[in-house]
Chains A and B, each alone.
Chain A
Amino acid sequence: MTEIFTIALIFSTIRTATPLLLAALGGLYSERAGVINIALEGLMLAGAFTAAAVTHYAGSPWAGLLAGIGAGVLVAAIHAVACIRFNADQVVSGTAINILMTGVPAMLSGALFLSSGSTPQIPRDDLIPWTPVVLALLLVGVTWYVLYRTPFGLRLRAVGENPEAADAAGVNVNGVRYSAVLLSGALAAIGGAYLSIGQSSLFTRNMTSGRGFIALAALIFGKWRPVQTMLACLLFGFTEAISIQMQGVFKPWGEEIPVQFISIVPYVLTIVVLAGFIGLSRAPRALGIPYQKEK
Chain B
Amino acid sequence: MKLLRELFFPLVAVLAAFVLGGIFVWIIGDNPFETYRLLIGSAFSWPDGIGYTLFYATPLIFTGLAVAVAFRCGLLNIGAEGQLYVAAFATAWVGIKFGGTVVDVFGTPVNYSWVTLPAVLLVPLAIVTAIVAGAAWGAIPGVLKARFGSHEVINTIMLNFIAIALVSYFTQYHFKQAGDPILQTVPVGAGVHLPRLGSFIPGLPTRIPLNLAFLFALVACVLVYIFLWRTKWGYAIRATGANPTAAEYGGISTGKQIVLAMAVSGALAGMVAVNEVLGYRYRYYDGFSANYGFTGIAVALLGRNHPVGVLLSALLFGMLIRGGIFVDAFSGKVSKDLVEVLQAIVILFVACEALFRGSFGRFGLLKRSKV
By a beta-carbon cutoff of 8 Å, the part of chain A in contact with chain B is 36, 38, 78, 82, 86-89, 91-93, 95-100, 102-104, 106-108, 110-111, 116-117, 210, 213, 216-217, 220, 258, 260-261, 263-264, 267-268, 270-271, 274-276, 283
The majority secondary structure among interface residues of chain A is helix
The 4 closest A-B pairs by CB, nearest first: A103-B340, A100-B344, A88-B351, A96-B347
Q: Are A93 and B166 in contact (CB under 8 A)?
A: no
Interface size class, chain B: 35 or more
Q: Do B148 and A107 have beta carbons less than 8 Å apart?
A: no
Count of A-B residue pairs with CB < 8 Å: 141
Query: Would A274 and B155 be within 8 Å (CB), given that A96-B351, A110-B334, A263-B165 are in contact?
Result: yes
B87 smallest CB distance to A (angstroms): 18
Do A95 and B294 touch across chains, with their CB atoms under 8 A apart? yes
Q: Known contacts being A92-B76, A107-B334, is A217 close to B158, with CB within 8 Å?
A: yes
**B contact residues vs A (CB 8 Å cutoff):** 24, 28-30, 76, 78, 144, 147-148, 150-151, 153-155, 157-159, 161-162, 165-166, 168-169, 172-173, 291, 294, 297-298, 301, 333-335, 337-341, 343-345, 347-348, 351-355
Could you tell me the distance between the alpha carbons of A270 and B334 in the complex, rounded to whole angstroms? 39
Q: Report yes or no: A103 in contact with B341, Cβ–Cβ below 8 A.
A: yes
A82 contacts B155, C-beta separation under 8 Å? no
With a cutoff of 8 Å between Cβ atoms, the chain A residues found around residue B165 in the complex are 260-261, 263-264
Cα separation A276 to B147 with both chains bound (whole Å):
11
Is there an interface contact between B161 and A99, defined as CB atoms closer than 8 Å? no
- Distance in Å: Cβ of B254 to nearest Cβ of chain A: 18
> A95 with B337: in contact, given A264-B165, A271-B158 (CB under 8 Å)?
no
Chain A residues with Cβ under 8 A from B161's Cβ? 210, 213, 263-264, 267
* Across-interface contacts of B333 in A (CB, < 8 A): 110-111
Contact of A271 among B155, B169, B351 (CB under 8 A): B155
24 residue pairs from A and B, CB less than 8 Å apart: A86-B354, A86-B355, A88-B351, A89-B351, A91-B76, A91-B78, A95-B297, A97-B348, A99-B298, A99-B347, A100-B341, A100-B344, A102-B340, A104-B337, A106-B340, A107-B334, A110-B337, A111-B30, A258-B169, A258-B172, A264-B161, A267-B162, A271-B155, A274-B148
The interface residues of chain B, by DSSP majority, are classed as helix
Given contacts A213-B161, A267-B161, contact A111 B352 (CB under 8 A): no
